[in-house]
Structure 1
Amino acid sequence: MGAVLFGLFAILLILGIPVAFVLALSSIGALVFADYPLVVLGQRFFTALDSFPFMAIPLFMLAGSIMGHGGITRRIIDFALSIVGNIRGALSHVVATSGIMMGGISGSGVADTAALGSIMVPEMKRRKYDPGFSAALVAASGSIGLIIPPSIALIIYGVATQSSIGDLFIAGIIPGVLIGLGFFIYSYFVARKNNYPKEGKVSFHGIWTSFKKAIWALLMPIIIIFGIRGGVFTATEGGAIISVYAFLISAFVYKEIKFKDIPKIFFDAAISTAVISTIIAATTLFSWLLSSEQIPQQITASLLGITENPIILLLLINVILLICGMFLDSGPAILLLAPILAPVSASLGLDPVQFGLIMVINLTIGLLTPPVGTSMYVASNISGVPVMQLSKKLMPFWFIMIAVLLLVTFIPGITTFFIEN
């Protein structure tokens, strides 16, 4: 049955069918081939979505939709500009800084890329920045949202492996900031080389003024992280709390959401949730079939049989995840690969939280690589830069992320420092 399952999966994927339908159709084909009762299909789909932790996803999607309509993104960008405005290439540094700040609010790399790109790409174009560099920076900085809490990918990994979502959120802070700082440093050298403009003087008054305007937005990740980590509420309850908070701030403090906007906000969140829910349901059925054939155990044994050197095995796992990230979005990739590779990482002595960050960073790089790099395509559509040209401009950002990935892989303290202290 395994050959039928993987064979159908490969064929349907090559034909360009959306991943959710590839997973569902290949699973149905395997069920029919193995003479399983088709009632299993409905049972697995229902079981996959009948989960309290998964309720966090639509709630954070709603919070992200409110944030996009409520002027929160613009105030974060204005605050970032007030800090780095006197540095050459200030707008590029604003993008990198905003990527870190926004990652702690929306939880979605693609959403952050779209929000940053729609505002920053036209501004950078107006100031004669290289279009390819601008689009690459926006795509890479926006993708940090998959690592910085409250990441949707970390929630999915936590549910899939029964790991603490609060610990995963805390563990994502240092790697996300390191990646953002790497982008900042690279952008500085590019700006110096091309003589990109400064955006004015930095003053305490300017920083304080923009901070006061952005303070309500900047409090959102603090509420989420400390609330979940402190045991005040669960990740799901945190999604509900932050959605209400975002609406109250956007409607009554910033006054940029009217009641007539509410249907559109909920519709956008519902569409995003429906896409992810379909993928989760289909992936759960696919994973159940893998487990029923003991394929994860076979793969684990095969990997451990290649070599006993933990360094080589960790590098091999990273290569597998990087390749999978090039073809699968983060959600289905995590649900497919976490049950298979988590036992291997555990046998190597890796903390489940550390391995979660290894997996998510690998898949974040996949957002920026062809052929299925979602953030890359979003940035390409916004900027008008062809995908192949954008891929070349993204290469330095890949190397920065891979460098941080290797640090996370071989220095556990980067992910566990805040958890243990």
Structure 2
Amino acid sequence: MARKVVIVGGGAAGLGAAGGAKAADPANKVVVYTQFEDVAYSPCGIPYVHGKEIPDFQALFLADKQSYVDAGIDVRYETTVRSIDTAAKKIRVEGEGEVSYDSLVVATGFDYKDPGVAGAGLGGLYYVKNIRAAMEWDKVLDTVKKAVIVEASALGLEMVTALAHRGIETHLIDPHPWALGELCDPDIAAPVQESWAEMGVTMHWNTELKGFLDNGKGHVRGVATSNGEIACDLVVVATHKVPNNALAMAAGVTAGSTGGVVIDDHMRTSARDVWAAGDVCEIPHGLGGLPLQGLTGSHAYAQGKVAGFNAGGGDRAYQSVYVPWGMVAGKWMIGGVALGEVAAGALGIPHVVGRATGISRARYYPGVKQVRVKLLAEPGTLRLIGAQMVGGEGIKERADFLGVAVRKGLTLHDLATMENVYSPPIGALNEPIAVAAQNGVAEARKGA
């Protein structure tokens, strides 16, 4: 029987849920509420428009509004959902009053963690999120001579590179000793930081934000840090993503240790007929079940498809994640999957390491790039538990492959004898993953 599926949030998870609900039953009535003017665009592309790699913001839109009308999805733009009543199966919508549902999907996304310092209300603080706001900030960037990025998160890395490309004097402050300090290992981050220095970026590591400084007219004039003041015209606040969970928490939905909504393998929450997807919820890591929150857009979309399909009357499970990741930072690509050395050490997980430095194409082919690979494996079994890489190209494809390898329990022995494509323009004779695995097997034998 057809259902009325209501979705709160119009990001990747929300639109994935809308499509999933229609896939479960085309007769389902699907209504999406979003606070913003648009849906169906890629916020992940915003830094690259700022950096001029992408010529304009219109390129980031994936579909026009009419396409959702044609698909039978009712998107309510610039509309705020004030509350959820799970017992009555209703939401209260500003301007509409009470709206009933058969199934509800909460896909309210993320907020940036509050820096918790004075001056957070000043003008000139840029939180990269909404595309319409980004269009206005892009005009502001034309007037900016000096900017500060707060924290070397994934977004922070992208914005550092973007502003440097823009010709803006760029300063980065972060409490960790290196970029992506909670995810990336220092040997992988080092080439990125070297390239930033070449681009004129000034990095302030082991430096805490103490406050935003007022110019006396309600606009930021700089930041106060644990190592002194840095003057600037603009601050990009790229703090850790936290779940936008207020609506769900007020409705009594259970949250986990990350603050994200707890869901089961079908994306169901603790409340009857309520599902959740995307940055608002937490997902178990495939290695040990460690709860994770704030993953990528591809994760949010996949979760939304499952949540929406099940909310629409279907039956589909969502698997634990191993989180292959990758990005461009400075002049390099970096990426990996599951655990790096820093994370494994912090969690007390013993591991064997195999390393190799190879090339992306035949050594004689124009444009050949270095590729550095590090593999982590379980002692004894040598089952792969993680990887990190830095190189000039080919990082994304290797991260995807290694994500499957970790999920399927492949070992260093398997990877040491893997087949690989050899074609001068796209692949070298010796695949760096295979060489790293061979070196890891050799190191394990030495320690046996």
TM-score (norm 1): 0.30
Higher alpha-carbon Rg = 2
By relative contact order (CA 8 Å, sep 6+), the higher-ranking structure is 1
Richer in helix (by share): 1
TM-score (norm 2): 0.29
